[in-house]
Structure 1
Amino acid sequence: MPAGGLSVSAPPGMEFEAKITPIVVTSCVMAATGGLMFGYDIGVSGGVSSMEDFLREFFPTVLRNKHDKEGSNYCKFNDQGLQLFTSSLYLAGLTSTFFASYTTRQLGRRVTMLIAGAFFIIGVIFNAAAHNLGMLIIGRILLGCGVGFANQAVPLFLSEIAPPRIRGGLNALFQLNITVGILFANIVNFGTSKIHPWGWRLSLSLAGLPALLLTASALFMVDTPNSLIERGMPELGKAVLKKIRGTDNVDPEFNEIVEASRVARNVKHPFRSLLQRRNRPLLAITVLLQMFQQMTGINAIMFYAPVLFTTLGFKADAALYSAVITGAVNALSTLVSVYTVDRVGRRMLLLDAGVQMFLSLVAMAVVMRIKVTDNSDNLDRDWAIMVVVIICNFVSSFAWSWGPLGWLIPSETFPLETRSAGQSISVCANLLFTFVFAQAFLSMLCHLKYFIFLFSAVSVVVMSLFVLLFLPETKNVPIEEMADTVWKRHWFWKRFMNDEGNSHRVGEANNIYSAAI
């Protein structure tokens, strides 16, 4: 119990007093730069994979297939080693996120971001200096560790430090930075593709810039009040809470965090606690959101955009240029989510985007069926413009919906006692499905051809129905009141919620409050 006051939980659904302070905005902007690392790597790998100097040094077989006039366009980049170059990062991130869960809980969100930056910087050095495939893969693994730690800490930091009424918009800054990183990588690839024979090294080495930015930013950040109180520093936590909320009237929110922290300290095995019946709705939503996010096909498109455009018949420069256009659309469209997510809500954005993505994917399948043959070398100008417009429409709808909300919703749903473990599962599921689709995409393109877009279209229908029926709205709900205000009132998930723990907490708080009166 903190000095100078009684720990009384706020009534469920209470709106805490909070101003939008400069320190909150600044801290969130700095923390969200962790998304730049992730985004740059998503964008850079596909562009580098299409550069002939890179293929000549590491994947000569792919280079020969690329110039083979007899082979199918759909299969020219179908190489497991090339896919491993892209996907090994996500496998490493998947593993490292379990260690990141420990550091996030025991050392804090800020320290975990510093660790992420260190891993990423070392990985960049290995990649930029690589002279064989082994060095390249080691570098990718280290980058993956950095991604795992950053993706664990940053969304939690953003959700905990932001006032409830703008939590969605500030959390979406992480996805915005991912899209900016992708755009930056596409622009860099377009320029370095003309630098022979070491342009690809420059592309890979510039990944160090966002890593340095995150590391430097983390040195000047304050940790979240939730983390400080959870680690036994309530006075410092309360001081930080006053600072970030811009008011001295923080007792209701502070007491709520203290009570959540007390419960959290009693949970010795948070991962085991996730399997309890009352946590199953949160776990199911988290895993399914990450799976659905990847089943849209977005990361396959963003990883391999230049490769995909080349397959569609674009020449090398045109493919990279088109990737820059889609990257710009991706970044600009994410701003729509930043502006609207706390106004119209999470569900509305996801459902609207489902319709737009479905139509785009069906249109893409039709174009590929009509115009892209196994040995097509080029597309007519009008058809090429149509392809870019369709892909931009798809990317745009994803960027203001499933992109940012796939990170936001899991980060704001778990109670403090399982929040680090829950975020770890979220990151793990995201990276697992990202790894699977990155590793399989080129092979699927080779065998399924245009059906790959119909596969994603069917997936979009399924995930939209899931949102309609099973995803509750979490807009403007205080993060420590999510269980009482959201999950216990949902028509389906309420049957899983166990009231024992919460009844004990509320009863204990009421007894203390009555005694005080």
Structure 2
Amino acid sequence: MAGGSIGPTGVAKERAEQYQGKVTSYVIIACLVAAIGGAIFGYDIGVSGLESNINLKGYVKMGSRKDFEFCFTGGVTSMDEFLEEFFKTVYDKKKQAHESNYCKYDDQGLAAFTSSLYLAGLVSTLAASPITRNYGRRASIVCGGISFLVGAGLNAGAVNLPMLLAGRILLGVGIGFGNQAVPLYLSEVAPTHLRGGLNMMFQLATTLGIFTANMVNYGTQQLKPWGWRLSLGLAAFPALLMTLGGYLLPETPNSLVERGLKDKGRRVLEKLRGTQNVDAELQDMVDASELANSIKHPFRNILQKQHRPQLVMAICMPMFQILTGINSILFYAPVLFQTMGFGGNASLYSSALTGAVLVLSTLISIALVDKLGRRALLISGGIQMIICQAIVSVILGLKFGENQELSKGYSVVVVIFICLFVVAFGWSWGPLGWTIPSEIFPLETRSAGQSITVAVNLLFTFIIAQAFLTMLCAFKFGIFLFFAGWVTVMTIFVYFLLPETKGVPIEEMTLLWKKHWFWKKVLPATNLESNNNSSL
């Protein structure tokens, strides 16, 4: 249907029931290749040890040992050879027995190394928005892959700190571009009834990247003195795949239509859906593109009242994803494995177990998200995370004080609830924190909205990573209750303010807010609403 006036949503009417098509191998391959961007993100999180190295003193008593130092996942920032070459001050403090364990890694240069990626990613994802919109999703994917490839090479071959920081910044630029473009790409090529599951390929690839990096770190720690170079350099492999894949991928039909290439967009859509009967879906794209092309300043437009629900979600979803406290849970895992008798391999076992659990729970989410819906997974996952965090906090508070020893029995119980927490995060806020923002924006603000999502995610990741040691010192076991409080807030937020997006075509998503009990009061009246009323 080509007629009818088009309101500010860019879509004249709902045509979802007219959509046709099936899952084609073309869609599956495109999604697998595009999701490699998630593997790059995950690999760099794991291999670089983005989270602060955590050292606890006097919390574990094993025989005559009262001091125990550990690092979650390790990463190159915990390797002596890496520290000795680039951060000699940190290396010297690490070797001093009298130095406070909380201060061994307190160094501005090391802080700049870890934080430069977040800040570069935050800035670059905003710069990626006009490229993604004007030149297509593939262009940003390729730019991200090239940047990451060069950054990995610089880091692996670094001979001084400026070269190391330059590589780190380029990695951040690659992540900014990749995280901005890949979720959009996945949402736009996926058929409506499977969009959630296929979009989660990004999160699945991220978890696999983290798991792979943890295993690589463990192996390269034995390869002295150049193991850290291998850990950083291997990031070039997924970066190369992302670059080549981005070059070979088809552009999304939404982007092609938006840029005036309607015929080419139709041909791609027919291949993706495996049928020539794509008139309804194509018309939704054409209607959306008419308004999109009239918007010259997407970031300014996204602040307007008609986009208020999407803007709130673009800010709150990634913020809540970080405030689940997933990092604090994982940081405690190695010390608990140590008390259970795993000795020096505690970090390996904890990383392997939590990483495997995260991967498996993401697979559960992929299988259920388009059947049960987004809200059901977010609410059930939130409730389970609250329960797990409360139980872990009580046990640690009562049985794991500064002068107390956590028995093996209680350690087993805590590890079980840590795994249950990771499972809940893996099927809910982990993947859906990326999926929902990527599918709710209209075409005219979609790239800008995704940039805001990535920027907020990186900003809060940076804040939590920098503040975690201070919070841990102040709250101790209460840090789990702190994050449980946030999970309670976000679960209530989802229950009252997030409509179900399952099965709603991406170009008709804006119609959803007009039906929501709260957001329909916030949104301004539109021509679309007037037309619907007059047709009754």
Between the aligned partners of 1:244 and 1:433, the Cα distance in structure 2 is 36
Between the aligned partners of 1:452 and 1:238, the Cα distance in structure 2 is 52
Aligned to 2:435: 408
Q: Are the aligned partners of 1:116 and 1:150 in contact in 2 as well (CA < 8 Å)?
A: yes
Between the aligned partners of 2:448 and 2:207, the Cα distance in structure 1 is 26
Aligned to 2:377: 349
**Correspondence for 2:458 among 418, 431, 436:** 431
Residue 196 (structure 2) pairs with residue 176 (structure 1): no
Q: Are the aligned partners of 1:69 and 1:375 in contact in 2 as well (CA < 8 Å)?
A: no
- Residues 335-374 of structure 1: pairs in structure 2 closer than 5 A: 335-370=363-398, 372=400
Q: Are the aligned partners of 1:10 and 1:252 in contact in 2 as well (CA < 8 Å)?
A: no
Aligned to 1:292: 320
One-letter amino acid of the counterpart of residue 263, structure 2? E
One-letter amino acid of the counterpart of residue 420, structure 1? S
Post-superposition shift, 1:444? 2.6
- Residues 177-196 of structure 1: pairs in structure 2 closer than 5 A: 177-196=205-224
| 1:449 partner SS | helix
1:75/1:329 Cα in 2 relative to 1: closer, same or farther (>3 Å)?
A: farther
1:85/1:385 Cα in 2 relative to 1: closer, same or farther (>3 Å)?
A: farther
Post-superposition shift, 1:312? 11
Aligned to 1:274: 302
- Residues 365-404 of structure 1: pairs in structure 2 closer than 5 A: 365-370=393-398, 372=400, 381-404=408-431
**Correspondence for 1:492 among 472, 493, 518:** 518
Post-superposition shift, 1:246? 1.0
| 2:225 partner SS | coil
Between the aligned partners of 2:339 and 2:211, the Cα distance in structure 1 is 21
Post-superposition shift, 1:286? 1.4
1:365/1:64 Cα in 2 relative to 1: closer, same or farther (>3 Å)?
A: farther
More divergent stretch after superposition (201-210 vs 61-70)? 61-70
Post-superposition shift, 1:382? 4.3
1:424/1:451 Cα in 2 relative to 1: closer, same or farther (>3 Å)?
A: same
1:131/1:374 Cα in 2 relative to 1: closer, same or farther (>3 Å)?
A: farther
Post-superposition shift, 1:68? 5.4
| 1:98 partner SS | helix
Post-superposition shift, 1:317? 2.8
One-letter amino acid of the counterpart of residue 498, structure 1? P
**Correspondence for 1:42 among 33, 41, 45:** 45
Aligned to 2:509: 482
1:323/1:93 Cα in 2 relative to 1: closer, same or farther (>3 Å)?
A: same
Between the aligned partners of 1:490 and 1:450, the Cα distance in structure 2 is 39
| 2:200 partner SS | helix
Between the aligned partners of 1:358 and 1:72, the Cα distance in structure 2 is 33
| 1:469 partner SS | helix
| 2:16 partner SS | coil
- Residues 100-499 of structure 1: pairs in structure 2 closer than 5 A: 100-299=128-327, 315-370=343-398, 372=400, 381-484=408-511, 486-499=512-525
| 1:450 partner SS | helix
Between the aligned partners of 2:78 and 2:399, the Cα distance in structure 1 is 22
Between the aligned partners of 2:106 and 2:185, the Cα distance in structure 1 is 39
Post-superposition shift, 1:342? 0.5
Aligned to 2:20: 17
One-letter amino acid of the counterpart of residue 136, structure 2? G
Post-superposition shift, 1:210? 1.2
Between the aligned partners of 1:17 and 1:331, the Cα distance in structure 2 is 32
One-letter amino acid of the counterpart of residue 190, structure 1? Y
Q: Are the aligned partners of 2:156 and 2:232 in contact in 1 as well (CA < 8 Å)?
A: yes
Q: Are the aligned partners of 1:282 and 1:413 in contact in 2 as well (CA < 8 Å)?
A: yes
Post-superposition shift, 1:310? 7.9
1:366/1:79 Cα in 2 relative to 1: closer, same or farther (>3 Å)?
A: farther
| 2:502 partner SS | coil
Aligned to 2:125: 97
Post-superposition shift, 1:201? 1.6
More divergent stretch after superposition (299-308 vs 289-298)? 299-308
1:506/1:79 Cα in 2 relative to 1: closer, same or farther (>3 Å)?
A: farther
Post-superposition shift, 1:479? 0.8
Q: Are the aligned partners of 1:167 and 1:342 in contact in 2 as well (CA < 8 Å)?
A: yes
Q: Are the aligned partners of 1:78 and 1:443 in contact in 2 as well (CA < 8 Å)?
A: no
Q: Are the aligned partners of 2:315 and 2:456 in contact in 1 as well (CA < 8 Å)?
A: yes
Aligned to 1:515: none
Q: Are the aligned partners of 1:350 and 1:464 in contact in 2 as well (CA < 8 Å)?
A: yes
Between the aligned partners of 1:390 and 1:68, the Cα distance in structure 2 is 36
One-letter amino acid of the counterpart of residue 489, structure 1? K
1:244/1:206 Cα in 2 relative to 1: closer, same or farther (>3 Å)?
A: same
Between the aligned partners of 1:312 and 1:457, the Cα distance in structure 2 is 26
**Correspondence for 1:32 among 32, 35, 58:** 35
Between the aligned partners of 1:29 and 1:302, the Cα distance in structure 2 is 28
1:173/1:395 Cα in 2 relative to 1: closer, same or farther (>3 Å)?
A: same
Q: Are the aligned partners of 2:129 and 2:448 in contact in 1 as well (CA < 8 Å)?
A: yes
| 2:275 partner SS | coil
The percentage of counterpart residues that share the same residue type is: 54
Post-superposition shift, 1:219? 2.0
Unaligned 5+ runs, structure 2: 5-10, 50-73
Q: Residue deviations 1:395-451, cap 9 Å, x none?
A: 221111101101111111111111111111111111111111122223332343322
Between the aligned partners of 2:313 and 2:175, the Cα distance in structure 1 is 22
| 1:247 partner SS | coil
Between the aligned partners of 2:172 and 2:241, the Cα distance in structure 1 is 17
Q: Are the aligned partners of 1:83 and 1:442 in contact in 2 as well (CA < 8 Å)?
A: no
Post-superposition shift, 1:371? 5.2
Q: Residue deviations 1:75-102, cap 9 Å, x none?
A: 5545554444333211111000111101
Q: Are the aligned partners of 2:12 and 2:528 in contact in 1 as well (CA < 8 Å)?
A: no
Please report the RMSD computed on the Cα atoms of aligned residues, expressed in angstroms: 2.8
Post-superposition shift, 1:259? 0.9
Post-superposition shift, 1:50? 2.8
Q: Residue deviations 1:231-284, cap 9 Å, x none?
A: 110110011111111111111111110111011000111111111111111101
Between the aligned partners of 2:338 and 2:79, the Cα distance in structure 1 is 11
Between the aligned partners of 1:173 and 1:232, the Cα distance in structure 2 is 29
TM-score by length of 2: 0.87
Post-superposition shift, 1:59? 3.8
Between the aligned partners of 2:138 and 2:330, the Cα distance in structure 1 is 29
- In the comparison of the two structures, how many residue pairs are matched? 502
Between the aligned partners of 1:303 and 1:104, the Cα distance in structure 2 is 36
More divergent stretch after superposition (262-271 vs 367-376)? 367-376
Post-superposition shift, 1:496? 2.2
TM-score by length of 1: 0.90
Between the aligned partners of 1:220 and 1:227, the Cα distance in structure 2 is 16
Between the aligned partners of 1:280 and 1:138, the Cα distance in structure 2 is 37
Q: Are the aligned partners of 1:175 and 1:334 in contact in 2 as well (CA < 8 Å)?
A: yes
Between the aligned partners of 1:33 and 1:203, the Cα distance in structure 2 is 18
